[in-house]
Amino acid sequence: MTLVLRICHLYPDLLNLYGDRGNIMVLAQRARWRGVDVAVVEVTLGRTAPGDADLYFLGGGEDRQQRIAADDLAARQRGPLTDAAAAGAVVLGVCGGYQLLGRFYRSADGRDLPGVGLLDLWTEHPGAGSRRLIGNLVVQPDGGGPALIGFENHGGRTYLGPGARPLGRIVLGFGNNGRDGGEGGVAAHVYGTYLHGPLLPKNPVFADRLIREALERRHPGCELAPLPEALEKHARAAVLARAGRPADA
């Protein structure tokens, strides 16, 4: 039986900071290396996301692009995304995309941008002149496994409600708000994070976790064959060395 992975990339023309499109490339290639057929659908403004994708991705954008995407997302995508997530699809949001998976984003001018409400969280910008949270980011994921590594650059401070849990705990960097030690948000198969750079090339174990969870929606019990990881390990070691952290064991 041939496995098929259906990926929906939301607003690739608006939300693509720090090479976020690379996350789609990694998901597709790591699946294809295992013999999985991959179909990627790009959804731009004015189009509605398909309800049958196995994985949905939202990248990051500057404030103007995020405002444009927020209105379209709330008007067109809230229903399809909510239904797909309830049916077991994986949803991943990075930076601005992460913020829009929550309930709302309150910008520096006090305007609330609507979110889709897949994660019980909200984001507030503390106002003009406040410090941006910028730098290398190292996170120990809840449940164990290799550290998640990347780069963060955001003005908003994100706070989790009781219906979401952090993706992990901060080892280096600021994370959600620079105060509570948490980074990212998770509920079921919905994930949000401030890790850019892009996220998945630097974190292949996490990429495989998303692929496996996405495939299990239609193929329960499927397993992913191991891949040679020499280049990925060298890349991680270089990033961790710049961040002053030990390489993976």
Q: Domain limits of the chain? A: 4-224
d(CA 62, CA 68): 10
pLDDT at position 243 over 90: no
The pLDDT value given to residue 40: 98
What mean pLDDT is reported for the chain? Answer: 94
Cα–Cα distance list, 123 to 76, 138, 211 (Å) = 21, 21, 28
Span 92-125, pLDDT tens digits: 999 999 999 999 999 888 889 999 999 999 999 9
**φ/ψ (deg, to 5) at 200:** -75, -30
Tell me the percentage of the chain whose pLDDT exceeds 90.
80
Token pair 């329960």 in the structure block, residue: 220
CATH numeric code, 4-224: 3.40.50.880
pLDDT of residue 136: 93
- Quote the pLDDT of residue 19: 85
* pLDDT value of residue 138: 95
The answer, yes or no, to whether residue 17 has pLDDT greater than 90, is no
What residues does 115 pair with on adjacent strands?
none
Catalytic residue among 9, 154, 189, 196: 196
pLDDT at 249 over 80: no
222 has catalytic annotation: no
Contacting residues for 221 by C-beta, under 8 A, at least 6 apart: none
pLDDT digits (tens, 9 = 90+) for 165-216: 999 999 999 999 999 999 999 999 999 999 998 999 999 999 999 999 999 9
Better-scored residue on pLDDT, 143 or 98: 98
Cis peptide before 162 (omega within 30 of 0): no
> What does the pLDDT read at residue 246?
85
Mean of the pLDDT values across residues 13-29? 93
Residue 189 among the catalytic residues = no
Q: Which of 8, 9, 95, 125 is catalytic?
A: 95
